[in-house]
Structure 1
Amino acid sequence: MQRVVFLVPFLVVGSLWTLQMDPVLGKSPVTTLENFEFEQFSGRWYEVAVVSTCPHYMQRKKSDPIIVALELKHVPSQHNFTMTSSTFKNGTCRETLTVISLTSTPGRFFHHVARFGADVDCFAVDTNYNEYALMLQLSTEKPSGNKTTTVKLYSRTTSVSPLVLGKFKALIRLHGISEDTAIMNQHKGECFPGDQMKEAAANHQVFVPESSK
């Protein structure tokens, strides 16, 4: 099992308002859920769809579009939570642990990716807790100042409904990204660190861009 841990200090960002200015782009307002409850949000999620303005990220995802399993855990006495990501890489299940800071704004999180020197502001834009979550990540690399917008669709299962896909596409368009570039990840079976990949005949939702209909 391979494990990578990113440790970041607690950072208080923004205010208690749900409508905030985009900390990376400095233009569009970002809206989080007014009554966001992290304890309901924690637990197991699957990253079933992604799109990003970062060409390197998109190239990596296109070469291996596999669903990532996420486990979110929070210790109430601490101002952060852990996100354990499990996915197959080169046929072997690998696990990554990231420590993410909670902020004073419910539904807004922060972490630093040392590998790319990037500060990442993350927003839970929409969720019903038991089915889906729409996540917006705004990143700034240092010292280059390169800025990236990433939209992710989380699901409690490895498939999503057409209605949820519609919400995902609407969020993509809102941030000026072509929905045709979105990637639907494929389920290759449950991932347990150290295991070899076994192809799964699981049913998963296929994403069909509007332009191809």
Structure 2
Amino acid sequence: MQGAVSLGSLLVLGLAWMLQAGPVLQDDLIPIQENFDLGQFMGKWNEVAVVSSCPYYMEDKRENPVIVALDLQQVAPDGNFTMTSARFSRNGTCKHRSTNYRLTDTPGRFFNHVARFGADVDSFVVHSNYNEYAMTLLLSTEQPSGTKTSKIKLYSRSKSVSAAVLEDFKTLVRDHGLSDDAIIMNQNIGQCSGEQETNPVSTQPQGD
């Protein structure tokens, strides 16, 4: 595997973001890709594996475990970016969704607000070699309840990943208090096209 790097040195902190509860993670304790390069991170990815502390998200993914095609494009001149996703729904139709992400002062950390759930989402690129795979951590806080959940996702430039990358992903999952047995491996059922929905970027302040 080109550029393979063990995550062990990044994950010694053994962070936990437990189901529906738990302490707020301090920003400086979250491992982020060193010397993160946003330009190299842009482009096309495939979401090949996911796990979450949110039972509703996991139930939905188990019912429809399909690979989600992603296209990340920077928006000039502010440098923020848009992620457009495409996936087959349970009834076989294709859904496109566009989400705008705001950059923060920390390279590799992004913010967006999901209006339909009233959730502020912090996303972190934990590790990537840019041309093969990326591992991301998403921490969501629903308002006004303050309910916190986490998602950990594995992206690939192709429709699969090597065994070594998958093992590193399992290590990341365990070190964030989730079970690697719960990981959902998405299935490749082909490409799709469809109508697009948009989740606009929030203007709410978010600490960096």
Q: What TM-score comes out, normalization by structure 1 length? A: 0.78
Alignment of 1:5-84 (within 5 A): 25-27=23-25, 29-84=29-84
- What SS is found at the alignment partner of 1:35? coil
Alignment of 1:1-213 (within 5 A): 25-27=23-25, 29-89=29-89, 90-193=91-194
> Which range moved further: 55-64 or 72-81?
72-81
Count the aligned residue pairs.
Answer: 175
Any conservation in 1 of the 2:112–2:122 contact (CA below 8 Å)? Answer: yes
Any conservation in 2 of the 1:22–1:30 contact (CA below 8 Å)? Answer: no
How far off its partner does 1:133 sit?
Answer: 0.2
Question: C-alpha distance in 1, partners of 2:16/2:179?
Answer: 19
The aligned residue for residue 11 of structure 1 is: none
The aligned residue for residue 5 of structure 1 is: none
The AA in structure 2 aligned to 1:161 is: S
Any conservation in 2 of the 1:25–1:147 contact (CA below 8 Å)? Answer: no
How far off its partner does 1:22 sit?
Answer: 9.3
How far off its partner does 1:42 sit?
Answer: 0.2
CA RMSD of aligned residues (A): 2.0
The AA in structure 1 aligned to 2:147 is: N
How far off its partner does 1:191 sit?
Answer: 1.6
Q: What TM-score comes out, normalization by structure 2 length? A: 0.80
- What SS is found at the alignment partner of 1:106? coil
Listed as ranges, the gaps of 5+ residues in structure 2 are: 1-12, 196-208
How far off its partner does 1:44 sit?
Answer: 0.2
Instruction: List, as ranges, runs of 4+ consecutive aligned residues in structure 1 with deviation greater than 6 Å.
Output: 21-24
